[in-house]
């Protein structure tokens, strides 16, 4: 078993920064626990701007990534009691001078997603949305379609299973 900092958005931001030299930052929340400290250390080490990251009381989100011998993987996040950023904590300053906002679809934080989109668009920022999982698409398709049909999403990332579920 290997423990690393990540998540689809964090991995994208870290890759853009460390792999391509693109200045990137993250907006979110973490806790002062082992996982939170690992996250902050890893993102800082890779040059990610953490000025939009807020420390909160409670546990940092965790995810188990299962990979088989063929390289197929599945992600099982545990976000239920993790610290979260609230919609009213987002400010225009969080998005100022940004070109893209990269988000992951999750029904439990739709209010934050909608607020982030609204503020980012006011700042002229393009929006990228990762569909998260085929289960998220299947179980919460209506609010997802509402987001996609709003015209505010400039780029949507979906793997094959998520795309099939979305277009079913």
| Cβ atoms within 10 Å of 2's Cβ, excluding its own | 4
Helices (H), 46-159: 92-95, 110-122, 134-139, 141-149
What is the full DSSP assignment across 32-60? SSHHHHHHHHHHHHTT-EEEEEEEESSPP
Specify the pLDDT at position 130. 95
pLDDT digits (tens, 9 = 90+) for 50-109: 999 999 999 998 888 888 999 888 878 877 788 999 999 999 999 999 999 999 998 888
Enumerate domains of the chain plus CATH numbers: 1-84 (3.40.1190.30), 86-167 (no CATH)
> Which of 7-11, 43-47, 110-114, 130-134 has the weakest average pLDDT?
7-11
Instruction: Give the integer Cα–Cα distance in Å for 131 and 147.
Output: 11
What is this structure's pTM?
0.88
């Amino acid at each position: 078993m290997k423990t690393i900092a990540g998540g689809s958005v964090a991995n994208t931001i870290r890759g853009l920064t460390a792999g391509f030299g693109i200045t990137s930052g993250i907006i979110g929340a973490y806790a002062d626990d082992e996982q939170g400290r690992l996250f902050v250390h890893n993102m800082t080490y890779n040059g990610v701007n953490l000025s939009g990251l807020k420390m909160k009381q409670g546990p940092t989100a965790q995810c188990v990534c299962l990979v088989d011998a063929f390289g197929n993987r599945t992600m099982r996040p545990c976000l239920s009691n993790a610290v979260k950023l609230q919609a009213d904590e987002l400010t225009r300053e969080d998005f100022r001078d940004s070109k893209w906002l990269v988000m992951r679809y999750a029904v439990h934080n739709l209010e934050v997603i909608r607020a982030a989109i609204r503020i980012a668009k006011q700042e002229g920022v393009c929006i990228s949305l990762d569909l998260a999982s085929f289960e998220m698409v299947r179980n919460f398709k209506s609010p997802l379609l509402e987001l996609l049909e709003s015209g505010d999403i400039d780029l949507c990332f979906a793997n094959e299973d998520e795309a099939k579920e979305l277009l079913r």
